[in-house]
Amino acid sequence: SSAFGLLLAAAPGRRRGSCFLLCPLQNLAATMFDDDDDVEPQVNDVDNYYFEESEDKAVCFSVLPIKFDENKEVACSDYKEMNLHGRSDNNLHKVFKKVTAWRVELDCQQPKISVLSSEGNWIELLKPLKWYYEKYSRSILITVQTLHFIRKWPRKQERRLFDHLCEVFDKFGTRPNKDDIRKHHNLIKLFMERDPILMKSKIIRCFIEDASRTAIEDDSSDDNDDDSTDKEDTDTDTDTDGNAADDDTDMICAICDDGGKLLSCEGRCKRSFHPRVKHGRKSNCRTLRFTSAELKLKESGTFLCENCEHNEHQCFKCGELEPSYDPNAKVFQCNKESCGHFYHPKCIAVLLEPEDTDGACKLAERISDGMSFTCPVHWCFKCGKMEDRTQTELQFAVCRRCPRSYHTECLPRVTGTAEKEISAGTSQDMAMKGVLRQPSRVEIDGMSECFVQIADKLHWYVLPGDTIVDLCFNMDNFSPLMKEKLEDVGKRCNFKNYDLFHNKKDLCVEENWVTMQLEDLPHGSNLVMVLDLPLGIEAFSANKLVDKVLTFKPRVIIIVAPTDIESHCISLMMWMWMAKQRMVGM
């Protein structure tokens, strides 16, 4: 056969040809050239490796530039090249290569790390030498394994991640910890910018948050001190997101608009909630009021909020609750995978075709018939362009009360009395504890007109020497308007202003009004109080705030509320007037 050759050899003391060997010719050729110094076999992978900057000076490969594609390279330090040492072909051959860059592939069954040789070939890294792992490559290998795990299982909890890491790195004898991952937060950010799944991961965010956002992570440790009976929850509470790290879900509570320990609905609404009373204590959140056992049960399975469980969702434009599941659906979901907003066909059609009545009617019909749509949340209300998360000025500030978003550079400036720029942040910043939703310019203009109407009515009931207490959450327009109105009619009064936003200009701003005591204010007979409740407040919370105001027994109280007030105390007061119709801007 042409594929084989016959090799004959004589054994000592035997006749010539009495021993023979049949050998493939290609193996013969390989054997002949194995020791030829002029031909070096290509190295595809290397085991038992380590890297040196120079002789006897080891260094981690992650300081080399990292390549995300053939044309895009990001320098991580001043290092341009280093030497790779290791073994290939089952430890048969020693490897020594100069390498100039590295890359990570996360789409494989296991993460794949490769380095680029000076000849232009990629060499996969298998297992490092133990001393090199312990002193140099431990943290970067743990970080890469973390990115791979979260990308593959975005809904797994943090403790599952560390169970996995311990299993993978058990052979080296040391347990991975959070510090291993935090060391490479800048590298993690580079991967997040290029991968939507990682960008949305709440677990990853927990590792890379800066000092101004550490409260989210610290909330878990605070819980252990607050309630010693909850020790069984320790593992669960260290997760920022409860059972869903997948980050199509919202990063702040849908009830109170605050961050912290959240349980995310795995249904279509994408919302998150504070699961237990202690988790919403700092924000006075009503929470889901789960017990420890109920929370563990929800986290171990699939949690659905009542809306998703019954397939009924609110229209994000008009707020009406309607069926959302075929064949009786009356509200339809935005087709963006990350969006949990639902709309009536007519409501979304008006938003998409605001100046074309006929077009809006036809569009509503097509949506009713099943046509998909993208809601306006996903482009800038001012310039009409999409979000670009790689550029700070093109990241979105997203309103949580209406279908509007703005690039940070497109945010409207407040005009009129306030004359200040609306504070805002990116959609990621909305998860920060303490970040409250700010009113849009349209709302500000409307609220100013509303306060003019209130001042016109209220000044008749104010007596000279009265103290007017302005409890205004949303704006600081009312006190200046009221002061001007009273001066016009010759009434001199005192003003006290309590506001969560300390931005009053001409009038003194006090501390948080919820902590006020009876001795802090004049007698109720000389007291006029104006309570402007924050937008989106739940009726339960609104009534608690009203009850607090009524403890001061003011002679006159004005309540501006987006929610029906059902306080039993109000029945003890005589209604001077009540505007049931919606005022301008309300």
Q: What is the mean pLDDT of the chain?
A: 74
Two tokens, residue 316: 């994000």
Residue 163 CA, chain-centre distance (Å), reads 24
Find out whether the peptide bond into 534 is cis, omega within 30 degrees of 0.
no
Two tokens, residue 465: 């020497």
Residues 260 and 279: their CA atoms lie apart, in Å, by 7
Average pLDDT over residues 339-359: 89
Tens of pLDDT, residues 483-501:
888 887 788 888 887 754 4
The count of residues in the chain is: 586
Average pLDDT over residues 156-171: 86
Percent of the chain with pLDDT over 90: 24
Average pLDDT over residues 556-562: 76
Sign of CA dihedral 155, 158, 159, 164: positive
Q: Could you tell me whether strands 57-58 and 45-54 are parallel, antiparallel, or unpaired per DSSP bridges?
A: antiparallel
pTM of the model: 0.39
Cα separations in angstroms, 271 against 304, 339, 555: 10, 10, 42
Tell me, what's the pLDDT at 312?
A: 93
Lowest mean pLDDT among 317-331, 384-398, 466-480, 514-528: 466-480
Lowest mean pLDDT among 181-190, 222-231, 466-475: 222-231
Tell me, what's the pLDDT at 448?
A: 54
Tens of pLDDT, residues 428-460:
333 333 333 334 333 434 445 666 777 777 877
Sign of CA dihedral 300, 306, 307, 310: positive
Tens of pLDDT, residues 398-407:
888 889 999 9
Tell me, what's the pLDDT at 226?
A: 45
Cβ atoms of 579 and 444 within 8 Å: the answer is no
Lowest mean pLDDT among 187-201, 314-328, 373-387: 187-201
Cβ atoms of 560 and 576 within 8 Å: the answer is no
Out of 277-281, 536-540, 573-577, the most confident range is 277-281
Q: Is the pLDDT of residue 37 over 80?
A: no
Tell me, what's the pLDDT at 111?
A: 93
Sign of CA dihedral 158, 164, 167, 173: negative
Tell me, what's the pLDDT at 138?
A: 93
Tell me, what's the pLDDT at 513?
A: 61
Tell me, what's the pLDDT at 175?
A: 84
Cβ atoms of 352 and 376 within 8 Å: the answer is yes
Lowest mean pLDDT among 129-143, 289-303, 487-501: 487-501
* Residues forming beta bridges with residue 46, ordered by sequence position: 125
Give every CB contact of residue 291 below 8 A, 6+ residues apart in sequence.
Answer: 276
Tell me, what's the pLDDT at 472?
A: 66
Tell me the backbone φ, ψ of residue 174, rounded to 5 degrees: -130, 145
Beta strands in 271-351 (DSSP E): 272-273, 312-314, 321-323, 332-333, 342-343
Average pLDDT over residues 123-129: 94
Cβ atoms of 394 and 387 within 8 Å: the answer is yes
Out of 241-245, 408-412, 537-541, 568-572, the most confident range is 408-412
Q: Is the pLDDT of residue 275 over 80?
A: yes
Tens of pLDDT, residues 208-254:
764 234 434 444 444 444 444 444 444 444 444 444 333 455 678 88
DSSP string for residues in 274-287: --SGGGGTTTT---
Cβ atoms of 556 and 462 within 8 Å: the answer is yes
Lowest mean pLDDT among 40-44, 454-458, 501-505: 501-505
Sign of CA dihedral 125, 126, 130, 134: positive
Helix, strand, or coil (residue 451): helix
Between 327 and 250, name the one with better pLDDT.
Answer: 327
Residue-range domains of the chain with CATH: 4-33 (no CATH), 41-208 (no CATH), 215-310 (no CATH), 311-377 (3.30.40), 448-572 (3.40.50.150)
Between 97 and 42, name the one with better pLDDT.
Answer: 97
Tell me, what's the pLDDT at 540?
A: 61
Provide the pLDDT confidence category of residue 512 given band limits of 50, 70 and 90: low
Of 51, 80, 208, 38, nearest in space to 199 by CA: 208
Average pLDDT over residues 47-63: 89
Neighbours of 343 (CB within 10 A): 28
Two tokens, residue 203: 């677990």
